Chain A
Amino acid sequence: MGISLSKLTEKTNIWPWLLLAPLGIYMLIFFVVPLAEVAIMSFTEPKVSLANYQKVLTGALYQRVFLNTFVTAAFVTLCCLLVGYPLAYLMAHSKPRTAMLILLLVTMSFWTSFLVRTYSWMVLLGNNGPLIAFLEMIGFDKPPQLLFTRFSSTLAMVHILAPYMIMNIYTVMKKIDPALIRSAESLGARGWSLFRHVYLPLTAPGIANGSVLVFVICLGFYVTPVLLGSPREQMIAGLIGHQIEEFLAFGLGSAMAMILLVVTLIILTIYHRRFGLDKLWG
């Protein structure tokens, strides 16, 4: 090879295109085209019209599912924040040993398959599970149904998505200069006001990151709501799957998928403008 590296790095040459081409072509064939197919089907199945969108946007069932999805995603995000913030704090401000153990735990949870964690909640919340047993012990004659309710799917989603929140907040907390806190204290900030006016604003980027991530994943969440949720209170991904698998209603399914996609992309675009998309998965 007689080509020098300096020639390789000249601004206008074909090298980057050559290197990029295989992936580019691949993504075109196996990413863009399938996505385009969804878009096309939403307008053409079963016949060319806007009927699918009309139905999806005005039908009471669909509206309820959309609303349910949004409310659930927002609620899960909020819960993840409430659960994640203290834990991230504990990780960031404990002795190295404790911090390390918690980090290990969160990382474990992070890497454990969604399915495994969903299954665990099935055991925990099942009719023969420990929680029901506990409720019976403290005097419930007929304990409420926990599994296959909005409660069980929300709880499991919070558990599954919390690590994303925790990791994002923890990363930010870790970077806070202790001297900054000390100097704020020396200026008279204490307790709640120190937290509100100094600590919380400093961790805001982590909160924003984690929240966007959790919210967006939750919007399109399929596995857990389908397995643990109430069949009567589906979320959008579940309904899409249902339409496709049960009724082969590709048009309707695609229209819903497109709406889900557009909403997701709008959120991520706003995020991208402010922070840059590559930061999200940090």
Chain B
Amino acid sequence: MNTFMRWAGFIVVLFIAAPLVIVVPMSFSNASSLQFPPPGYWLGYYRAYFTSVDWLIPTWNSILIATATTILTMALVVPATFALVRHKFRGKGFADLMMLMPMAVPHIVMAVGYYSYFGDLGLVHSHLGVILAHTCLSVPIAFLVLSANLKGFDRNFERAAQSLGASPAKTFLHVTLPILRPGLVISSLFAFIQSFDETVVAIFISGRDAETLPRKMFDSIRQEADPVIAVISTLLFFVVLLGIAAPYFASALRSRAPKPSRPAAAH
């Protein structure tokens, strides 16, 4: 059983790895359509990406929307998480569940809802509309990460601070927030990525004016399979690699174990 599992495992490794790395050579290809292995190599599509307004604007839109979404999400989720983790009250179980609901609803269903609802409100094809929708979808992830952190937070830190003369406000500022900072950072990061990667709702509501990168990629893949996508994929690949490797290196330096798991979203 052991040997079988090992061999099967290694084949799966190939299966997982191949599609991740294939975009890298593709991005340097000089073919005008999808061809692998590439007939020749050049940097033309990188130039195309970095000079084309058609690609840069959606990139910028995505960054803008994801940043705003993160800020709004955290502003809403941080107080709510404190309420839900720190207090007992009637209806708490229900509230806990409601926080997770946007994750349980398929995004296509939300997309239909937003398409019609934001149409009524005049929010389709606007940055604001996408931000408002994305915030909703980011809430569960941010909440899960933060509440796990807050549950693990030792109340004695706060008691100690107060016994030492810190008022509740100062305790929050000098003790609670700094100790929770890693949790807040990770929670914000997840909210950001959730928004940055979100495709389905963006396809339906972002329109031309607030077009996000995933929407642009989706359209492009569907229509002409522009090789620039390989460039973007490669860039995203290295961003992710950097993002994952950084904590590994940092932990190797500080020899602390990382926990690279991520709550999933129902795309």
Q: Given that A34-B114, A35-B105 are contacting pairs, would A217 and B244 also be in contact in the complex, using a CB cutoff of 8 Å? A: no
Count of B interface residues, CB-CB < 8 Å? 108
Asked if A120 and B20 sit within 8 Å, CB to CB, the answer is yes
**A66: Cβ under 8 A from any B Cβ:** no
- Closest partner residue, chain B, to A217 (CB atom): B266
- Closest partner residue, chain B, to A5 (CB atom): B168
**B162: Cβ under 8 A from any A Cβ:** yes
Asked if B79 and A23 sit within 8 Å, CB to CB, the answer is yes
Contact partner, A23, options B33, B80, B115, Cβ 8 Å: B80
Per-residue A-contact encoding for B27-62, CB less than 8 Å = 1, 0 else:
000010111110000000000000000000000000
Contact partner, A117, options B4, B19, B159, B167, Cβ 8 Å: B19
Spot the interface stretch: A46-54, A55-63, A135-143, A190-198: A190-198
**A205: Cβ under 8 A from any B Cβ:** no
Measured between beta carbons, the chain A residues less than 8 angstroms from B262 are 107, 110-111
Main secondary structure of the interface of A (DSSP, over half): helix
Asked if B139 and A123 sit within 8 Å, CB to CB, the answer is no
Kindly state the separation between the CA atoms of A83 and B109 in the bound complex, as whole angstroms.
29
Asked if A105 and B83 sit within 8 Å, CB to CB, the answer is no
Measured between beta carbons, the chain B residues less than 8 angstroms from A164 are 264
Q: How far is the CB of B45 from chain A (nearest CB, A)?
A: 13
Asked if B37 and A115 sit within 8 Å, CB to CB, the answer is no
**B177: Cβ under 8 A from any A Cβ:** no
Per-residue A-contact encoding for B228-267, CB less than 8 Å = 1, 0 else:
0110110011001101110010000000000011111011
A and B contact pairs by CB, cutoff 8 A, 5 listed? A16-B87, A87-B9, A91-B9, A124-B36, A241-B111
Mark A residues whose CB is within 8 Å of B: 1-5, 8-9, 11-12, 15-20, 22-24, 26-27, 30-31, 33-35, 37-38, 41, 83-84, 86-87, 89-91, 93, 102-124, 126, 128-130, 133, 159, 162-164, 167, 171, 191-192, 194-195, 213, 216-217, 219-223, 226-227, 237, 240-241, 244-245, 250, 253-254, 257-258, 260-261, 264-265, 268, 272, 277-278, 281-282
Mark B residues whose CB is within 8 Å of A: 1-2, 4-6, 8-10, 12-13, 15-20, 22-23, 26, 31, 33-37, 75-77, 79-80, 82-84, 86-89, 92, 95-118, 132-133, 135-136, 139-141, 144, 158-159, 162, 167-169, 171, 193, 197, 199-200, 203-204, 214, 217-218, 221-222, 225, 229-230, 232-233, 236-237, 240-241, 243-245, 248, 260-264, 266-267
